[in-house]
Amino acid sequence: MSGLKGHISEWLIELGEIKAANFLNDCEIDQTYIDTIFSMDSDVETYMYEVTINVPLKTHRIIVDYAAETSAVESAITEAGESDGIFVRSISWRPYLKNEHKKQIDKKAEEITQLLTQEYVNKQIRLMNNSIENNPHVALGISKELIETCCKHILNKANIEISKDWDIAKLVKETNKQIDLVPFEVENIELAKTSVAKILSGFSNIVHGITELRNSYGTGHGHLPEFKSLDIVYIKLAVSASSELAIFYLSLEQLNEKKEQQLTRFSAIGG
């Protein structure tokens, strides 16, 4: 459910609910994963979420005046969730102060910094693979979300400010500038770094392609009933590419941590 606000805004606009979409522009949406529901008669998984819509305090005090807009937003969230194999257990409206919301955003950035773990990457890859056959649009959505999270993790650790205008390809490029491509000494290290950089440059194009697929065939938009999904072979390509890039970032971070530990150990001995 990454980019949920944009997803719901697009859904509302496609339904002709322009006032509701404009109302949502002043709000922020948070979603919390609750559980995975397994069907008794199939292998299909449904992901349960709770959604909180944060409304500016002044607007929240007269929210009853926006009954039509809030109802349309809630319906869009529920419908969009159902189309993506997601069950929205509850939707709540909460007032917020702008300064307080900025603190929450900063807190989220800290949480992302702690997120890139073997467990997280494995879970996302498993979710993608489990969704390929029955929910290909969900697999595409997760593939973009996985890369986005990895990049934000690395950039946050490097204290790099992330512009809201950056697309996923820009995120990858900026991320690659911050990482030590070859953390340990090898023969002809500059050649090695140049070669790895070329591979990652190719991944930037792959990521751009995944984003375009996701926007057209993934969870980024509502679709008409006669919508035909992309063939599974292309979904598998996107899932494989995002999985490999995420594993690379995770493995490289582990190598860099190992290098830092060695340097610290050597410094202690030298001291």
pLDDT tens, residue by residue, 10-32: 899 989 999 999 999 889 888 77
- Give the model's pLDDT for residue 147: 85
Average pLDDT over residues 179-187: 74
- Rounded Cα distance between 86 and 228, Å, is 20
Residues of the chain with pLDDT > 70, as a percent, come to 75
Of the listed ranges 97-111, 163-177, 199-213, the one predicted with least confidence: 97-111
Residue spans of the domains in the chain: they are 1-96, 108-271
Q: Tokens standing for 53?
A: 């819509």
Burial class (CB in 10 A: 0-12, 13-18, 19+), 182: middle
> Where is 48: in which H helix or E strand?
strand 45-56
CATH number, domain 108-271: 1.20.120
pLDDT score of 217: 55
Mean pLDDT of the region 61-65: 92
Give the single-character DSSP code of 229. P
The C-alpha R_g of the chain, in whole angstroms, comes to 21
> 1-96: what fold?
GMP Synthetase; Chain A, domain 3 (3.30.300)
Whether 166 shows a pLDDT value over 70: the answer reads yes
| 180, two tokens | 């030590």
pLDDT at residue 85 greater than cutoff 80:
no
Structure tokens at 219: 């969870």
- Once rounded to an integer, what is the mean pLDDT over residues 95-119? 59
Distance CA 206, CA 212 (A): 10
DSSP bridge partners of 52: 30, 92
> DSSP of 11-34, one letter per residue?
HHHHTT-HHHHHHHHT-EEEEEEE
